[in-house]
C-alpha cells in the first residue's frame, strides 16, 4: 500500500490494526470553517520564499480544492489523519493537522495519490477498497512513481502530527521508487540522520525518507531531541 505522507509512521511505528469498512464520521471536526486560516496553516509548511507563491489547497466535504492559484509550481495543503496509514488506529483522529508543501516534481507525481485518497475516504469507501484501488492504480500506471527530485517541506511550527508527540520536528521529505533500498542512504529509525519514513509500510512502492532540520518555517529553533 503506497504511502506518501507518512508523518505518523515516521514518529510512532504501531502494530497493524485490521483494515475494515468504517462509516465516515461527522466531518465537521476535520474541516476548517475559516478558509483563510487553513490557507495560512498550509503555507506555514515552508518558508515564505516558497509558500507565498505556491498553490494552496483546502479540504472540503468531498476532497481538496484549490483556494489560491500559485506561480512557482509548489503546492501546499494541510493533510488530516486519514492521509496516514490505512491500518493506523488514529485514522480518524480529528486533531491531526499536517501542513505540507510539495515541490513541482512531487506535486505532479506524489500529490495525486493523496488527493485521490481524500476523495475516496470522504466518499465513504472502505479502507480495504481504498487499498485495492490504490494498488490497481499503480499497477496500471494511473498513478506515477515519484519524479526525480520529488520532495516536500514539513516545517510548520503549528503542525499536529500525533497525540504522543504533536509537533515532533521540522523536516524535509524525499520520495523515491523502491529500485534502491533505504540502506543506500543509510536510512534508519526515528533517531537516525536520515529516517526511513515508509518503514511501517514495507509493501509500498514508494520509499519516503525524512531529514529533520533545526528550524521551523518562521525561523524559530526546534528544541533539541
Per-residue pLDDT at 202: 80
Least-confidence region, from 21-35, 119-133, 211-225? 21-35
Q: How far apart are CA 177 and CA 162, in angstroms?
A: 26
Query: pLDDT per residue over 179-208, tens digit each?
Result: 999 999 999 999 999 999 988 888 789 999
Instruction: Identify the band that residue 22 occupies on the pLDDT scale cut at 50, 70 and 90.
Output: low
Average pLDDT over residues 117-141: 94
Q: What angle do CA 206, 130, 27 make, to 5 degrees?
A: 110
Alpha helix segments (H runs only) across the chain: 35-43, 48-51, 104-109, 111-122, 127-139
Residue range 65-92, pLDDT digits in tens: 999 999 999 999 999 999 999 999 999 9
**Measured between alpha carbons, how far is 166 from 184 in angstroms, rounded to an integer?**
30
Q: Which residues contact 30 (CB under 8 A, 6 or more apart)?
A: 59, 80, 82, 94
Mean pLDDT, the chain, integer? 89
Amino acid at each position: 500500500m503506497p504511502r506518501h505522507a507518512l508523518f505518523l509512521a515516521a514518529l510512532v511505528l504501531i502494530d497493524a490494526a485490521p483494515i475494515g469498512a468504517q462509516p465516515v464520521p461527522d466531518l465537521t471536526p476535520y474541516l476548517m470553517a475559516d478558509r483563510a486560516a487553513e490557507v495560512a496553516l498550509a503555507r506555514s509548511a515552508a518558508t515564505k520564499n516558497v509558500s507565498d507563491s505556491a498553490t494552496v489547497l483546502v479540504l472540503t466535504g468531498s476532497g481538496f480544492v484549490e483556494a489560491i492559484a500559485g506561480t512557482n509550481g509548489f503546492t501546499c495543503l494541510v493533510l488530516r489523519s486519514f492521509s496516514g496509514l490505512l491500518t493506523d488506529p488514529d485514522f480518524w483522529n480529528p486533531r491531526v493537522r499536517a501542513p505540507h508543501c510539495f515541490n513541482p516534481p512531487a506535486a505532479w507525481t506524489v500529490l495525486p495519490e493523496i488527493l485521490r485518497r481524500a476523495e475516496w475516504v470522504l466518499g465513504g469507501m472502505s479502507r480495504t477498497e481504498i487499498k485495492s484501488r490504490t494498488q490497481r492504480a499503480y499497477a496500471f500506471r494511473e498513478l506515477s512513481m515519484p519524479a526525480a527530485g520529488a520532495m516536500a517541506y514539513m516545517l510548520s511550527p503549528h503542525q499536529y502530527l500525533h497525540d504522543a508527540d504533536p509537533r515532533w520536528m521540522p523536516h524535509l521529505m524525499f520520495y523515491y521508487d523502491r529500485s534502491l533500498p533505504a540502506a543506500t542512504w543509510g536510512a534508519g529509525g526515528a533517531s537516525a540522520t536520515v529516517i526511513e519514513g515508509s518503514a511501517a509500510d514495507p509493501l509500498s512502492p514508494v520509499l519516503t525518507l525524512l531529514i529533520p532540520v533545526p528550524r521551523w518555517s518562521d525561523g524559530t529553533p526546534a528544541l533539541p531531541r
